[in-house]
Amino acid sequence: MWKTNRAERRYNYPVIHPGKIRVGVLRGGPSSEYDISLKTGATVLTHLPEAYVPVDIFIDRKGLWHVQGIEQKPHKALARIDVAWNALHGEYGEDGEIQRLLESFGVPYSGSGSFASALAMQKPLAKEWLRNEGIKTPYHELLNREQCGSVREAAHRLYRSFPQPSIVKPAMLGSSHAVSLAKTQRELEHALDDAFRAAERVMVEEYIQGREGSCAIIDDFREQAHYALPPVEIRAPAVSPFFDYFAKYSGESTHAVPGNFSREEKQALQDMALRVHRALGLSHYSQSDFIIHPRRGIYFLEVNTLPGLTEHSLLPKALHAVGASLAHFLEHIISLALHRKRT
């Protein structure tokens, strides 16, 4: 057990209580979802049960690590904890990079492993993987900045050869960052330009209009190997054509928990979320997003391996709907991490 010395106490490191587990909450990071990560990390630090000692590990936009406000090298920061709660969203936090770092130092952590995280983060690859498992997902095309020529030429070709309207999104970013709905060729050109400013690889996806839903899976919860929380129905504000970044974090969206789905739709959403979780080899918890078309059925959109835990996030709302507290959820996932419980 690591013990503080006088110099360390002077820098306001947490007091270690015998028998208590030190949980390092990793938040921030060099990601497009930096602000969301700070909020998720703050939620974890606030709701962590008293049985644990919280250690705030802040990673700034440059990738520099800080423990309780003092800059530290990663290996020194990780030496001060027993388990890591990964509250890093987007690049670096969900693409397998931080997972590989934690694995190299032998630090147990929350969430999926490095390979599964990388697979899920690469939206086109995950879609193809799941399509091979019989999971229906919208038609898409992947574009590489260096290979597609000019944006105008790409928009011209796609508008005439691809089902329209279309959704344009970076291939490896989350939280609907730089995602646009394009209905005209000019809008498609602008959408591609915006997405390419955020990423080198862009996915153009068939737009399917319908009700939006999300369903989370928790491992080994309530005596079930994979427990499906009630699907959440998402109603974006009138100014948002879909559940975009503004709709997610402005507080303008409304969420019905449980959603206004038929019994058959609810069961199908839970079953599909479970199939996604298993097929991609995800661990501890995940949240899958879907679109429900009135005639064509349910389509998988994407999966989030580290769902947000902010005041506007869906997972805390779904937990509340089944009478589970956020503190209990945190304790459960930490227990899985400490026992390296991965699928």
Three-class SS of 263-302: HHHHHHHHHHHHHHHHHCCCCCEEEEEEEEECCCEEEEEE
User: Which among 226, 141, 235, 221 has a CA at the least distance from the CA of 188?
Assistant: 141
Residue 11, SS3 per DSSP? coil
What pLDDT score was predicted for residue 2? 33
Single residue among 157, 186, 206 that ends a domain in this structure: 206
| Domain co-membership, 202 together with 213 | no
| Domain co-membership, 129 together with 267 | yes
| Domain co-membership, 61 together with 127 | no
Q: Is the pLDDT of residue 332 over 90?
A: yes
| Domain co-membership, 254 together with 171 | no
pLDDT digit string, tens, across residues 204-216: 999 999 999 999 9
Residue 185 inside a domain? The answer is: yes
Q: What angle, 0 to 180 degrees and rounded to 10, lies between the N-to-C axes of helices 151-161 and 185-198?
A: 130
Residue 60 inside a domain? The answer is: yes
| Domain co-membership, 101 together with 150 | no
Dihedral angle, C-alpha 72, 74, 77, 78, nearest 10 °: 180
Mean model confidence pLDDT for the chain: 88
pTM of the entire structure?
A: 0.86
Q: Which two tokens stand for residue 208?
A: 């399917």
CATH of the domain at 88: 3.40.50.20
pLDDT digit string, tens, across residues 252-295: 667 888 888 999 999 999 999 999 999 999 999 999 999 999 99
What pLDDT score was predicted for residue 252? 61
User: Which among 22, 197, 25 has a CA at the least distance from the CA of 111?
Assistant: 25
Q: Which two tokens stand for residue 335?
A: 């227990």
Q: Which residue has the higher pLDDT, 334 or 177?
A: 334
Classify residue 258 by its DSSP letter.
S
Q: For the residues 101-116, what does the mean pLDDT come to?
A: 96
Residue 1 inside a domain? The answer is: no
| Domain co-membership, 219 together with 326 | yes
Single residue among 64, 90, 109 that ends a domain in this structure: 109
How does residue 10 score in pLDDT terms, banded at 50, 70 and 90? very low
Alpha carbon 319 to chain centroid, angstroms: 16
What values do phi and psi take at 2, rounded to 5? -70, 140
CATH of the domain at 300: 3.30.470.20
CATH of the domain at 169: 3.30.1490.20
CA 186-245-143 angle, 5° bins: 50
Residue 343 inside a domain? The answer is: no
Domain count for the chain, please give it.
3
Identify the domain containing residue 45 by its residue range: 6-109
Q: Alpha helix locations (H) across 48-165?
A: 74-78, 97-104, 114-121, 123-131, 151-161
| Domain co-membership, 201 together with 224 | no
How does residue 311 score in pLDDT terms, banded at 50, 70 and 90? confident
Residue 316 inside a domain? The answer is: yes
What pLDDT score was predicted for residue 142? 92
